[in-house]
Amino acid sequence: MTGAALAPSLAGLILFGTFFGLLFLRVPVAFALGLACLPILIIEPRLDSMALVQETFNGYNSFILLAVPFYLLAANLMNVGGITDRLVRLSRALVGHFPGGLAQINVVLSIFFAGISGSSTADAASQSKIFIEAQRKEGYDDSFSVAITAVSAVLAVIVPPSILMIVWGGVLTVSIGGLFLAGVIPGLAIGLVQMATVHAYAKARGYPTYPRASLVEVVKSLAVSAPALMTPVIIIGGKVFGWFTPTEAACIAVLYAVALAAFVHRELRWGGLRHALLDTGRFAAVTLFCVGTASVFGWLLAYYQIPKAILEGVLGWHMGAIGTGFFIALCFLVVGCFLDAIPAIIIVGTILDPLAKLAGLHPIHFAMIAIVALAFGLVTPPYGLCLLISCSVAGIRMIDALKDTFIMLLPMFAVLVVVIVWPDFVLILPKLISPEFLK
């Protein structure tokens, strides 16, 4: 930027230095991002604090982000409206007889849940309440129960629909329908390796198992869950065939959940509805408020062309497509430890976008590497929201669940490596179903 009073390197130092300093002093992330912009806005003569207000406004004034509260609301309505109970019954009939039956149900329920909701934190909050106490009673170790609940919750952002895919598509203009399709195979693969991990744990530690469900029970539970299982078909189908925008698809999920709870299951109560709405409002607002301050932060980075300065250094390394893929994953893994996934996409996604283009990565491939890597960040300390939520429900410290969490992440790393080195792993479904998304 010609005429800027600060050199890019100094501006970058002030932004990141203030941000991490405030973070260390336990200032909430959203406020630390906003406050880090203040010194710059004061020093730079062309800018003032109006820019901060204007950019937060621009951040929130987005029809796409509106999908976030809707997916949270759909998830909360599933819990109060009896949809979750029916899916638990189906999961039990399907995998209850595997070693570590209850923990297997935990993983499979997360896959179903992921297909309806797009929010991992909503998944972690609801499944912690369902499973941690129940697994404790059956003799599972607390650290194992917390770890598997939190780690399986991250499936919600990888299996479509996913809030992260919607934000990514909106911020970096990538086809959201294409991202939804691309997430199916990696999501299911991560679900499978998690089930295998549970299997290994259960064999080693002698975790209990349930008797095999009769065929009649399987069919019955499938029948009562069928209306709920239609949700992902409607959402993803509607998006892929272009019937609705992502926000409208999320709204359909809400309306469908209300209709199921009120008319099919007849379990919707006023108190439950109010609770679901309040919970949604609080969580969505706190998450999204951070989007506003992250937008200001990202806007200032762009103002000083700091991304370009960083990239010029990295380009000298000549990494090639796979090397760049690993570099991108590493960036998001590190950033995910300290930042929530949505601000990470707004700040780091836009920084790395030109790098991915230069290396010849397909935009959808790039997005999936980032989203899978960011999913790890949901359970890694110090800022792993899903793990924090599960720990607080179980009443144990995060540090006590870390060992089991990292053991469970190892096989998932293998999936991330496959995502990086084998582009068709994510691109094959969009290629087969709707090739126009790939253009």
Partner 1 sequence: MNAWRRFTRAYAALLNWLLVASVAILVLPVSMQIFSRFTRLIPHYIWTEEMARFLFIWMIMIGAMVGVREGAHFEVDLWPRMSARAQAIVRLFASLAILVFALVFVWAGTEFTRFALNRISELAELPLWVIHVAWPVTGVTWIVFIGEKLWDDLRIALGRAP
Find the shortest distance in angstroms from Cβ 340 to partner 1. 7
Report CA torsion sign: 156, 158, 164, 170.
negative
Q: What is the dihedral of CA 34, 40, 45, 49, to 10 degrees?
A: 10
Number of residues counted as binding partner 1 (CB under 8 A): 56
Q: How many Cβ atoms sit within 10 Å of the Cβ of residue 25? A: 8
Cα distance between residue 253 and residue 116, in whole Å? 7
Q: Site residues for partner 1, window 210-269 (CB under 8 A)?
A: 244, 247-248, 251-252, 254-255
Token pair, residue 417, equals: 């490596």
Contacts of 76 (CB under 8 A, 6+ apart): 122, 126, 275, 276, 277, 279, 280
Question: Which member of 11, 65, 240, 370 binds partner 1 (CB under 8 A)?
Answer: 65
Q: Least distance (Å) from partner 1 to the CB of residue 102?
A: 30
Question: CA-CA distance, 119 to 109, in Å (whole number)?
Answer: 14
Residue 9 sits at φ, ψ, to 5 deg, of: -65, -40
Q: Nearer Cβ to partner 1, position 252 or 361?
A: 252
Q: Which stretch binds partner 1 (CB under 8 A): 9-17, 182-190, 271-279, 326-334?
A: 271-279
**Interface pick for partner 1 out of 195, 290, 351, 386 (rule CB under 8 A):** 290
Regarding 292 and contact with partner 1 (CB under 8 A), the answer is yes
Check binding of 288 to partner 1 (CB under 8 A): yes
* Residue with tokens 């006023």, as numbered in its chain: 270
How near is the Cβ of 281 to partner 1 at its closest, in Å? 4
Closest distance to partner 1 from the beta carbon of 106 (Å) = 24
Residue list 324-343, contact with partner 1 (CB under 8 A): 338, 340
Instruction: Kindly write out the interface string for residues 23-62 of this chain, putting x where it contacts partner 1 by CB under 8 A and - elsewhere.
Output: xxxxxxxxxx-xx--x---------xxx-xxx-xx--xxx
Exposure of 142 in the CB half-sphere (CA atoms within 13 A): 13
Residues in CB range of 163: below 8 A, 6 or more apart: 67, 68, 71, 118, 119, 157, 342
**Which lies closer to partner 1 via its Cβ, residue 140 or residue 256?**
256
The string of DSSP codes covering 182-238 is: HHHHHHHHHHHHHHHHHHHHHHHHT---PPPPPHHHHHHHHHHHHHHHHHHHHHHHH
Residue whose pair of structure tokens reads 């793990």 in the numeric block: 387
Binding-site string for partner 1 from residue 353 to residue 392, where x marks contact by CB under 8 A and - marks none? -----------------------------xx-x-------
Q: Which residues bind partner 1 (CB under 8 A)?
A: 22-32, 34-35, 38, 48-50, 52-54, 56-57, 60-63, 65-66, 69-70, 73, 244, 247-248, 251-252, 254-255, 274, 277-278, 280-282, 284-286, 288-290, 292, 338, 340, 382-383, 385
